[in-house]
Chain A
């Protein structure tokens, strides 16, 4: 009896140990984070200069590994060399994970000293006081530092005068990849410009008649759809007016876009524009057009080996001077609760400065907020991204003011599905869309 209890207990303990055996490895970073934060909070800023300081830095996982990670780690070691005693602890996280990480760390008061995020989520962060107003710090920077940056991207992180929440870091914009083999096979000279939807449709018709496919479907996702809608709408016809609690989407432009997509539908594939199936059709020389961002270029470049012949142009719009596309910005900022705000801000301004972003652009061809750095780089991918950014719509404007209702884009997606499945005519659908979106905003 006694022995059985002993054996039993030891089994339970063993089991518990076994289960927790895997814990230390997973626990380590979190423990390190909280342990590091505790002494820091106590230290005054002045003292921090002298004492060893660790700054927590959260970034996107592709900026913490591979080529982006190597570059970022170079910046960090340079910064650490210039600031003895300072350690910057970089952690890479996936997009969603980064967002939820900030939200939960804000709740528990452990926001990393420095972090990156997408500006489209900015309002979420300001809403939970996870962002510091860095306006005064920014204005204190020398004029020739400030003049390096793209004013548009600065205004994205500055919702109102006197409130600035971050530095713009990198960004993206979308454009149109063209399969030249398909175009030529359909008797289209790739040199012929496609500026308007009408010209684009005419090409797609010709492509379909030659036995190929035009483009994918843009009905599956709000993001896909926005790429096209952007070709009809202006910045004033997109996003939410939070003061009036109404959507800024234009029913007329919405109908116009739907009509174009309905016409293009019969020349294309029903696979979504972003779907792997569509990429496969493009790679196997059956589909002419894909709308996406610079991130697809490595895949297509690799496929050149198998004979892929492609280029990229701006996404045509309803009129010659309005182009399509979506753009987004990634910011870098400091925590409002950091004990080492000056140092953190210095690091932020360091990585955004021309010498760093010049290297960044050269190595990765990634679009960023530093105009001066980008002007020095000869990279066709970077060039098209810059051009595309000029006429693209933002993901969730206005940024850093109010968070979008959770199901705002779900309403748009449902409406698109209803129109394309024939539940609504485009006109009825557009009217319903505006009503539903306004109801969603009002009910938030």
Chain B
């Protein structure tokens, strides 16, 4: 018994530092957040227990509904589009050889190195009417200038471009590694069977790439669901006003942020965070379940 204890203790000692910080700054906040979500609290005055009132207020609020509608729209476009672009880039780079391949890979990866807050800041300027390069180009070819970041019809689209621009390189590198990992034998065998490029793709590349694709898709969902930096900056949001014109770029984390740090409704914001956590767990679980069935 003593021996066993000594033998095991050393493992826990090594784990202790990590799990100490992990518990204090990750597990505890989640539990504490759940607890706070049942209180009305502005962080200055004493908290008042309000049961499910925060949750009810949230579900009834207009912003909550808008932000969830927006996030569904956003995720359902940006994830497939982003992965399609990344996959095309990966296929292209994979088809090249030697330094040319390295050059394109490095170049496509560059946007990923820009911090997202910078990417959004630069793109806000690119989109600006009259002074931005995009509208200057549109006008140069005789088209009307478009107010990408103020006209609600274009705002989501403008955000998705920034998002794809920034994330395509990252996903491309992952997919490219997956592609390189597929043994050439499979393709040789397919060639012998007389398969064309398209058939190779359907019957070899995609099935063998499935684990990597799944990873990229799952990661894409998790990132997309917590979108904050880019829409916040593109709409020049502050805690006093966020989401842009007609709230076209209002997303859950932004709404949560505003309720917490704009009007100091920490209970409501905690309820928001908890609901988001649940939503993300549900979505990722669905992804895993669907995958297992296949």
Contact = CB atoms under 8 A, between A and B. Distances in A.
Interface of A: 1, 4-5, 8, 11-12, 15, 103-104, 106-107, 128, 213, 217, 219-221, 269-271, 275, 277, 280-281, 286, 406-407, 409-410, 413-414, 417-418, 420-421, 423
A406 B17 CA distance: 42
B128 A15 contact: no
A270 B247 CA distance: 18
A5 to B, nearest CB: 7
Ranked 7 nearest A-B pairs via Cβ: A406-B263, A107-B44, A417-B245, A277-B128, A270-B147, A270-B129, A277-B131
Given A4-B10, A270-B147, A413-B241, 12 more contacts: A15-B17, A213-B130, A221-B241, A270-B150, A271-B128, A275-B128, A277-B130, A410-B240, A410-B241, A414-B247, A421-B245, A423-B246
Contacts of B131: 271, 277, 280-281
Contacts of B263: 406-407
Interface in B118-163: 125, 128-132, 145, 147, 150-152
B262 to A, nearest CB: 6
Interface of B: 6, 10, 13-14, 17, 44, 125, 128-132, 145, 147, 150-152, 240-241, 245-247, 262-264
27 contacts: A11-B17, A12-B17, A15-B17, A103-B44, A219-B245, A220-B245, A269-B129, A270-B147, A271-B128, A271-B129, A275-B128, A277-B125, A277-B130, A281-B131, A406-B262, A407-B263, A409-B241, A410-B240, A413-B241, A414-B246, A414-B247, A417-B246, A420-B245, A421-B151, A421-B245, A421-B246, A423-B246
Contacts of A1: 6, 10
Contacts of B17: 11-12, 15
Contacts of A4: 10, 13
Chain B CB count within 10 A is highest, among A11, A217, A410, for A410
A421 B17 CA distance: 55
Nearest to B259: A406
Contacts of A213: 130
B130 A286 contact: yes
Chain B CB count within 10 A is highest, among A12, A103, A270, for A270
Given A410-B241, A413-B241, A128 B44 contact: yes
Contacts of B246: 414, 417-418, 421, 423
Given A1-B10, A104-B44, A271-B129, A220 B240 contact: no
- Chain A, interface SS category: helix
A409 B14 CA distance: 53
A286 B131 CA distance: 10
B150 A281 contact: no
A380 B151 CA distance: 39
A277 B129 CA distance: 8
A409 B129 contact: no
A12 B240 CA distance: 42
B13 A5 contact: yes
Contact of A271 (B14, B44, B130, B247): B130
Contacts of A219: 245
A318 B150 CA distance: 27
Contacts of A128: 44
Contacts of A406: 262-264
A217 B262 CA distance: 25
Contacts of B128: 271, 275, 277
A269 B136 CA distance: 13
B240 A409 contact: yes
A270 B150 CA distance: 8
